Amino acid sequence: MSNGDIGQFVRRRRRGAAMTLQQMSVSTGLSQSFLSQFERGRTQASISSLRLITDALGMNIHDVFGVVSNGGHAAVMRAAERPQLPFGDRAAKAIVGSRSLSRFETLEVVFEPGGSTGDGQYAHGHHEEMIVVLSGCVGVELGSERHLLDTGDSLSFHSETPHRVVNAGGESARVFWVISPPGAHGAGALGGDDRDQQQVLSPSHSN
């Protein structure tokens, strides 16, 4: 699904809910200008911004990508069909679970050498998060704490703690990322345009 497709889907759902851009801006904390550009496919929305938007529309973020169960007891997602999300610097994020998972969100993140979640630490909402390093080595900043994780290591934290993840090795690093709940946080503490309302707290950090 392209940026334009996602934006058009959100616009249809917003109009179907009889919600104006101004109302969505107030509900999400995102600027009207950004929301307008996003709905027209002229800019990307970070996963945090998508969560804010889907929360405002009463949806799960998985609804945006049409990730559904096959109607049986299990929901199968093929590797080639994983929805891709914009993320960080030299990093790629993919949804690996279906939208039938209402209690948590599962993602795979690949950090290229030198890649990270972004220039600074950020905080968002009131989630519980866990990362498991599938391959490579990553450094995790949690406020003033620093943790180095190798393949097989895991770390749990609360999303309101300012955090940043960076590839700490010379090869690509793969991380399995679990977030619970998947999209039930408010926008009160968030401000500014994209990166979007992930609240960037320490832009002085380098990759």
pLDDT tens digits, one per residue of 92-114: 988 887 655 667 888 999 999 99
Q: pLDDT band for position 73 (50/70/90)?
A: low
Please give the average per-residue pLDDT across 156-174, as a whole number: 95
User: Whose CA is closest to 166, among 195, 123, 197, 133?
Assistant: 133
pLDDT at residue number 72: 55
pLDDT at residue number 205: 36
CB 181 within 8 A of CB 169: no
Q: Would the pLDDT of 193 be above 80?
A: no
User: Whose CA is closest to 117, among 60, 73, 152, 162?
Assistant: 162
Please give the average per-residue pLDDT across 123-130, as a whole number: 85
Q: Would the pLDDT of 198 be above 90?
A: no
Looking at this protein, which amino acid is placed at residue 117? Answer: T
CB 47 within 8 A of CB 93: yes
Q: Would the pLDDT of 185 be above 60?
A: no
pLDDT at residue number 98: 65
Please give the average per-residue pLDDT across 42-63, as a whole number: 81
Q: Is 124 exposed, middle or buried (0-12, 13-18, 19+ CB in 10 A)?
A: buried
Looking at this protein, which amino acid is placed at residue 41? Answer: G
CB 70 within 8 A of CB 31: no
Q: Would the pLDDT of 136 be above 90?
A: yes
Looking at this protein, which amino acid is placed at residue 201? Answer: L
